[in-house]
Structure 1
Amino acid sequence: MVKKAEIKNLSLASVMDERFSRYSKSIIQERALPDVRDGLKPVQRRILYSMNKDGNTFDKGFRKSAKSVGNVMGNFHPHGDSSIYDAMVRMSQSWKLREPTIDMHGNNGSMDGDPPAAMRYTEARLSKISGEMLRDIDKDTVDWVLNFDDTESEPTVLPARIPNLLINGATGISAGYATEIPPHNLGEVIDALIYLQEHPDATLNDLMQFIKGPDFPTGGIVQGLDGIKQAYESGHGKVMIRSKSTIENLRGGKELVKITEIPYEVNKSQLVKQIDEIRINKKIDGIAEIRDDSDRSGLTISLELKRDADVKGILNYLYKNTDLQISYNFNVVAIKDMRPQRLGLKNILQTYLDYQRDVLTKRTKFDLKKAQDRQHIVEGLIKALSILDSVIKTIRASSNRKDARDNLVSEYQFTEKQADAIVALQLYRLTNTDVTKLRQENSDLAVKIAEFENILANSNELDKVLQTELLEIKNEYQSPRRSKIEAEIENIKISKKVVVPDEQVMVMISRDGYLKRSSIRSFKASELNDNGIKDEDRPVLIKKLSTRDNIFIFTDGGNLIYKPVFEINEVKWKDTGEHISQLNGLDSKEKIIAAFDFSNLKQSGSFLITTRFGNIKQTEFSKLLPGRTYKTRASMYEKFKTDEDSVINVEYLEAGDVKDVLVMTEAGLALRYNLNEVSVSGARTTGVKAINLGDNDKVVNSQVVTENSQIAIIFQNGNFKKIEVAEIPVTSRARKGIKVLRDLKTRENLIGNFTKINADDIMLRVYTDHLNGHDIILGEHNLSNRTSNGSAEINVETDGVPTSIEHLLINEIELINTK
């Protein structure tokens, strides 16, 4: 009767959970993670076993890779041929494995990431060291299971007479687990195994006397002893792998950096491309040419530098920005006791030792039984030869072989096995010589049997055998360490001299917030006034600077913008440039009131900051250094008490300046006092009271002056005058000040602005609320007294009310000597 289909009501969550658990277990144990005992994933184990079973060993000729792949796929690994071939190719790559387990003829890929030739073109065989992985597999040393179609048996693990997990490492990703185990030096690992064998209570420090750290097939410098120790203790840690290079001198003061070792699993061609892109894009200065000079003799990347280039600085930049140095994260996960575990170094070594003891015990039992069986046969043959005539007579009287065997057993008390051997004995063996050989063989077998029984009865004897065989493997296969271990991870500091070429450029910053840099050539080819800014805008800074200089830009809204010159977009001099509006935290109405350039960020001076509502403070340069987010966010340098307040002046003071500060208000009140009265405070502070303001009065400006200084004052009615600072007495901060004008009876007399006159000033420029500029020739005006109202200079009806008086930027321009 046909069974009807049964429909079950199950929740999707429970079905998914059960199915995914089975899937996860499958890929964890059967695909992605290595076994801690032999260090192999299932596909790798099947490749080695299948090739060994087919006799495709190191002492025989190469065979087509396609044949080996087909045998593995058809008999043991029912997956795609490409995954099997990829695994086989990796097992042959000397830059991936410290001790390759496959020898391959033909193109098996390269460090440049080139794919291998198709498997129909390449040939492969087991390497010599693979023989140690498979040695004693035919002596019942490992467990066996049926293959996927129950037609053959395959080993669950190989005897692995070498500690393969540590020597060749492993990498893999599965469901919920990943593994990253670096390769190690075979000689060091075996020394540690022998030490642990003799000292079961050995500490990690004891073992690390032998295993210094990973030993990558591509060499390199491994930095970070603490990271190595942490990884060996917990199975998880981080180190840095740095390329190894040498420096050679070339003619003409040039130098050549030869990179001979690169980090593990770094693509060489991609590394060369990374460095070449840095050279082409001029991200650093000093690289003339990059070449891949690798050949059959080994890896070489040649880095030709320009004359007098900073070699260390260039290498530091490349370490930080290319794969010339990479971080390597240990994640030592392997299958132990049928489940994935994160393992420390001692755990791996101890597990391997226990496994090898088990392998040796099983092998010794196998050899013992074989020797005992043979001894039993030899004793029967010797006995038969001693009564040869009777034996022959009995055999001749028998009807067939079975009858002869039975007669020998019944008449002379031979065992069936002995009787079978006697019946099969060839006539030429019936000589005295062969009797002697049998007796010698019996004696030798007795010695072997005693030796095997002693090994099985005494664990110390077993360890002696294991130690002897480990030392034989070490002597046969050990090679010098390739990776150098350095205790500390070097803190890389990149010099600006390397990152930024030292070029002279013209920089302009405008009041409305436009920034640009242009080449000197572009500046020379343009008219002076053809500077690209709008008619209503005006420059705050025009100066010839180095691309390595730094600029601090202050806005009237209390925000500070830091800009290295090399980060300002380079445009033609007649172009407008970029706007600071790309920065967050800036109001669209903010104006730039000051900009200062510095050759470095180690200045010892301070900034004097004054606000329109009468606050003043000094802030140290070191308190305004740029943070990590300077490219996208302006920083605060002044905190206002009210939203209506704004900064009216910022001046930079050298350390130790002993000068006075002069503050002047719109109502014509001036207060002069020593800078020492202005306290030093941080960026997010308001400061102290600069002057005692009357109702509706406000500060128009502040200037740092001396007794011999002169100042220029522009009135809101268009009048102008010059006076000496000495006319304004030195008092103390926060007072009301004294008048620098004479009040008018018919209308208000207010000050528009004032500034200190520099010794090289020829003229000053006045700007009005109509955005008009008016030049005042200083030589045309005599000094006035303090209470004078000056002389008429600007027609406010046509030109507008004066709001500022500023120095021309002609002084910096003249320094260039281009006009």
Structure 2
Amino acid sequence: MSDNQSKIEELTLEDIMGDRFGRYSKYIIQERALPDVRDGLKPVQRRILFAMNQDGNTYDKAFRKSAKSVGNVMGNFHPHGDSSIYEALVRMSQNWKLRAPLIEMHGNNGSIDNDPPAAMRYTEARLSKISQEMLRDIDKETVDMVLNFDDTEYEPTVLPARFPNLLVNGATGISAGYATDIPPHNLNEVIDAVLHLVKHPNATTDELMQFVKGPDFPTGGIVQGIDGLKQAYQKGRGRVIVRSKTSTEELRGNKQLIRVSEIPYEVNKASLVKKIDEIRVMKKIDGISEVRDESDRDGLSIAIELKKDVNSKGILNYLYKNTDLQISYNFNMVAINKRRPERLGLGALLTSYVEYQREVITKRTNYNLAKSKERLHIVEGLIKALSILDQVISVIRASSDKKDAKSNLIKKFEFTEKQSEAIVSLQLYRLTNTDITALQNESKDLNADITRYQAILDDSGALNKVLVKELTAIKKTYGSPRKTVIQEKIEEIVVDRTVTVADEQVMVLVSHSGYLKRSSLRSYAASGDDNGLKEGDYPVYQRELNTLDHLLMFTNKGNLIYRPVHEITDMKWKDTGEHVSQTIGLQDDEVILKAYSFKNFTDPSYFLIATNDGFIKKTKLADFAPGRTWRKRATTYIKLKTDNAKVVNVKFINKGQFSGTVMLLSHNGYGLRYDIAEIPENGARAAGVKSMDLREDTIVDIALVKENDIVGIVTNRGAFKRMLVSEVAPTSRARRGVLIIRELKKDPHRIAGFVVISSTSALEVLTSRGQTHDIIPDEHPLGGRYSNGTFLIDVDSEGEPINIKNKLIIDSVNGEISK
């Protein structure tokens, strides 16, 4: 009992988990998920190639059942599930995954549509011809061999890999804390880069990129972004764009067809075709009539048939942006280097490969040298024996057995153990004059080989020549033209909105309380005077627009809300609409002040914006172009100085079409007028400049006026007066202004609002109790500056006036609210 207790250790769960997970991580990093930088293979791939080679299942022999190869690998080297081994074997045979497949397979080995391969009992496999280059010289002690899982056989820790497989075929894998994504490359280019590196060991990444242009995917396609490639090849991490190769064909009836002949690497073709067809069915773009997969044994082909007179370039750009016709590929070149995972650039990766190949050639040369010396030793003994053949025969005949014969030859003629063994094993037919000549020629050849091997071992230049010669031969035998096109710049995809949005005329309404809607002209015409708004709410904008137009809405708190017309919720005209706060957060007392629509934001016109605390500015329309976050939050169109400040008006001015003055009225009855040119232009987030010397007063409103205009003014006591603009003489900005109502000692008048009177419209006064009072301006006389006007509204019964505006008259032609 005490012995058992002494074996119990008390450890924290954190220590146990850390230790166990550390061991597990090390195993899957080194022995499962990441390739070796030397041969570019994961352990399961290496074991499959070695086992098939050991079994004689090579390219020059007949195919064998895949199940047999999988069984050999699982039973001898890889104690894991047969499905994982078979998947690895199948992937090495797929010519749309590997640039140089290492396995040849008969039967269904899957497809680019991600169809599963046939079961291993149905398929047959053998090593491909190029895989022999991965295994060449493995029998010459070029690589370290270790015992397998049950210590019954030896397996290699790495294959000789006589070509740079890691770059040629690429790799992908995920382990604990590490992942790798190395794209396939062109064999010719990679070998050229290796040859250059052999001659110029300090070659830079830019020099190597003169040979390795970029990835060469087995599926072809177009790679865009030289800067991303440079970054990837320098640091081992980078991003490029991979785009499908397409062409446009003309059809009868003024129709076109987009033909996709190559798709990005590792994109599922069936899923891609399905996605494009879904776009057609859901009518996300209007212009695709049919999508067909016309791929056959001659190659990949996706046909996208378009409708008559549509923008094929615009549709293709939309598909690039919204489907896998274009993807981003991220380099993450991580491999096991000296038993450690490392992210390697192109130079470091190729340098490691060159060092390894020098090591392989050195080991092979040492092996060949030892074998040649051993054989030369035997040949020299045989030549010596044949020269004294009669004496040798006599000694052998006089011996009692083979062992005695060997011993006697060693004693009498000073042969070595190995030479005496060869002599006593010599067959009688070799005792001819012709054979002595053959032995002498063999001796000569062996001496030449030994000299050559020794030169390779003694001189690094001679070793490099061997490496260059062998790589050049592989390039000549297995090289193929590049499939992927490399383009320097990443083409920016601009999707024309006419492709994604149906061109349609609609009626749009924006209300003071923040309700927004669009309706068909048919629904609008059928609704009569019912606009669906709640009691007390009223339209600030109502107009017939095109779905391709842009809408800007300005709130009294300095926030700008943008909506493309086609994204406004489509509903019946009698419905209230969608409140903007459902997508954009607004304050409780925030309302829509003004709204304007535009075809684009390139118009050189500007806005005039004024606040109640005495600031004013002009801002260009282009400054209000929407940013990336317009769907989530409003943008600032003027900076408010205090929490109580608010915008009183926003005026849109066509550049060059207005040269009058701006008129401001304050709450305490002061008026100021000055030229609009005195107001400087500021950015969207600026507060502007001082508009009026307020002195504890506030701005009620502003108006753009001309000398002969007439304004209508309403006071808090319910008085209304008409006044000529010329009563307020133009001066300069930021002054106090002149008094335009007579000051009373008791219960003085305060201006509630004013408006420029149109010759055809009535006025509408809104009171504090939510009532409206109509005024016909022509029924009232003109008043001077010191007149307080005529009492029209009973404030005790109707409430105090809080605003005045032109009566809403909808133009029958374009639906615009008259000002």
Query: What TM-score do the two structures reach when normalised by structure 2?
Result: 0.90
> Does the Cα contact within 8 Å between 1:542 and 1:813 map onto a contact in 2?
no
CA distance in 1, matches of 2:358, 2:751: 99
Provide the residue aligned with 1:814 in structure 2: 813
Q: Deviations over 1:694-752 (max 9, x none)?
A: 87x75443221112334344566767665553455434445565666678999766655
Provide the residue aligned with 1:81 in structure 2: 82
Provide the residue aligned with 2:20 in structure 1: 19
- Which has the larger displacement, 130-139 or 545-554? 545-554
Structure 1 686/174 Cα, relative in aligned 2: closer, same or farther at 3 Å?
Answer: closer
Provide the residue aligned with 1:598 in structure 2: 598
Q: Deviations over 1:544-597 (max 9, x none)?
A: 112222222122233222222222222222222211223555222222221111
CA distance in 1, matches of 2:639, 2:489: 44
Provide the residue aligned with 2:182 in structure 1: 181
2:481 is equivalent to residue 480 of structure 1: yes
- SS of the residue corresponding to residue 265 of structure 1 reads coil
> Does the Cα contact within 8 Å between 1:375 and 1:446 map onto a contact in 2?
yes
Provide the residue aligned with 2:202 in structure 1: 201
> Does the Cα contact within 8 Å between 2:542 and 2:815 map onto a contact in 1?
no
- SS of the residue corresponding to residue 619 of structure 2 reads strand
2:97 is equivalent to residue 96 of structure 1: yes
Provide the residue aligned with 1:357 in structure 2: 358
CA distance in 2, matches of 1:463, 1:372: 23
**1:29 CA drift (Å):** 1.6
- SS of the residue corresponding to residue 140 of structure 2 reads coil
Provide the residue aligned with 1:784 in structure 2: 782
CA distance in 1, matches of 2:710, 2:281: 53
- SS of the residue corresponding to residue 116 of structure 1 reads coil
Q: Deviations over 1:501-520 (max 9, x none)?
A: 43322111011110011223
Q: Deviations over 1:619-675 (max 9, x none)?
A: 333444433332222233344455444333221122233112233355665443322
**1:90 CA drift (Å):** 1.9
Provide the residue aligned with 2:123 in structure 1: 122
Q: Deviations over 1:232-288 (max 9, x none)?
A: 233233332222222223334433322222222223333334444444444445444
Where do residues 622-633 of structure 1 align in structure 2 (5 Å cutoff)? 622-633=622-633
Where do residues 400-799 of structure 1 align in structure 2 (5 Å cutoff)? 400-410=401-411, 413-524=414-525, 526-582=526-582, 586-612=586-612, 615-656=615-656, 657-665=658-666, 670-684=671-685, 686-688=687-689, 690-691=691-692, 699-713=699-713, 724-726=724-726, 728-734=728-734, 752-758=752-758, 761-773=760-772, 781=779, 784-786=782-784
CA distance in 2, matches of 1:296, 1:158: 34
CA distance in 2, matches of 1:688, 1:415: 110
Structure 1 424/575 Cα, relative in aligned 2: closer, same or farther at 3 Å?
Answer: same
**1:416 CA drift (Å):** 4.2
> Does the Cα contact within 8 Å between 1:541 and 1:809 map onto a contact in 2?
no
> Does the Cα contact within 8 Å between 1:721 and 1:781 map onto a contact in 2?
no
- SS of the residue corresponding to residue 141 of structure 2 reads coil
Structure 1 233/797 Cα, relative in aligned 2: closer, same or farther at 3 Å?
Answer: closer
CA distance in 2, matches of 1:191, 1:684: 57
Structure 1 gap ranges (5+): none
Where do residues 97-496 of structure 1 align in structure 2 (5 Å cutoff)? 97-385=98-386, 395=396, 398-410=399-411, 413-496=414-497
CA distance in 1, matches of 2:402, 2:582: 103
> Does the Cα contact within 8 Å between 2:505 and 2:520 map onto a contact in 1?
yes
One-letter code aligned to 2:342: Q
**1:679 CA drift (Å):** 4.3
Structure 1 355/744 Cα, relative in aligned 2: closer, same or farther at 3 Å?
Answer: closer
- SS of the residue corresponding to residue 4 of structure 1 reads helix
Structure 1 764/253 Cα, relative in aligned 2: closer, same or farther at 3 Å?
Answer: farther
CA distance in 2, matches of 1:397, 1:118: 67
> Does the Cα contact within 8 Å between 1:583 and 1:634 map onto a contact in 2?
no
CA distance in 1, matches of 2:644, 2:720: 28
> Does the Cα contact within 8 Å between 2:527 and 2:573 map onto a contact in 1?
no
- SS of the residue corresponding to residue 130 of structure 2 reads helix
CA distance in 2, matches of 1:670, 1:3: 104
Structure 2 gap ranges (5+): none
CA distance in 2, matches of 1:739, 1:369: 116
- SS of the residue corresponding to residue 360 of structure 1 reads helix
> Does the Cα contact within 8 Å between 1:511 and 1:591 map onto a contact in 2?
yes
Where do residues 1-12 of structure 1 align in structure 2 (5 Å cutoff)? 4=4, 6-12=7-13
CA distance in 1, matches of 2:694, 2:208: 78
Structure 1 397/529 Cα, relative in aligned 2: closer, same or farther at 3 Å?
Answer: same
Provide the residue aligned with 2:70 in structure 1: 69
**1:55 CA drift (Å):** 1.0
What's the C-alpha RMSD, in Å, of the aligned pairs?
A: 3.4
Structure 1 537/398 Cα, relative in aligned 2: closer, same or farther at 3 Å?
Answer: same
Structure 1 268/774 Cα, relative in aligned 2: closer, same or farther at 3 Å?
Answer: farther
- SS of the residue corresponding to residue 593 of structure 1 reads strand
> Does the Cα contact within 8 Å between 2:761 and 2:806 map onto a contact in 1?
no
> Does the Cα contact within 8 Å between 1:544 and 1:812 map onto a contact in 2?
no
**1:610 CA drift (Å):** 3.2
CA distance in 1, matches of 2:692, 2:439: 122
CA distance in 2, matches of 1:445, 1:733: 107
CA distance in 1, matches of 2:802, 2:433: 132
- SS of the residue corresponding to residue 448 of structure 1 reads helix
Structure 1 795/285 Cα, relative in aligned 2: closer, same or farther at 3 Å?
Answer: farther
Structure 1 118/399 Cα, relative in aligned 2: closer, same or farther at 3 Å?
Answer: same
Structure 1 95/720 Cα, relative in aligned 2: closer, same or farther at 3 Å?
Answer: same
One-letter code aligned to 1:233: Q
Structure 1 379/615 Cα, relative in aligned 2: closer, same or farther at 3 Å?
Answer: closer
One-letter code aligned to 1:46: R
Q: Deviations over 1:359-379 (max 9, x none)?
A: 222222322333333344444
CA distance in 1, matches of 2:502, 2:95: 41
**1:191 CA drift (Å):** 1.5
- SS of the residue corresponding to residue 814 of structure 2 reads helix
- Which has the larger displacement, 335-344 or 750-759? 750-759
- SS of the residue corresponding to residue 29 of structure 1 reads helix
- SS of the residue corresponding to residue 103 of structure 1 reads strand
Residue-pair matches, total: 813
Structure 1 653/422 Cα, relative in aligned 2: closer, same or farther at 3 Å?
Answer: same
Q: Deviations over 1:385-429 (max 9, x none)?
A: 555556556555555444454455555554444444444444445
**1:355 CA drift (Å):** 1.9
- SS of the residue corresponding to residue 329 of structure 2 reads strand
Provide the residue aligned with 1:804 in structure 2: 803
One-letter code aligned to 1:116: P
Structure 1 2/78 Cα, relative in aligned 2: closer, same or farther at 3 Å?
Answer: farther
**1:383 CA drift (Å):** 4.7
Structure 1 75/766 Cα, relative in aligned 2: closer, same or farther at 3 Å?
Answer: same
CA distance in 2, matches of 1:389, 1:639: 118
CA distance in 1, matches of 2:690, 2:220: 66
> Does the Cα contact within 8 Å between 2:241 and 2:326 map onto a contact in 1?
yes
**1:184 CA drift (Å):** 1.6
> Does the Cα contact within 8 Å between 1:670 and 1:738 map onto a contact in 2?
yes
Structure 1 63/530 Cα, relative in aligned 2: closer, same or farther at 3 Å?
Answer: farther
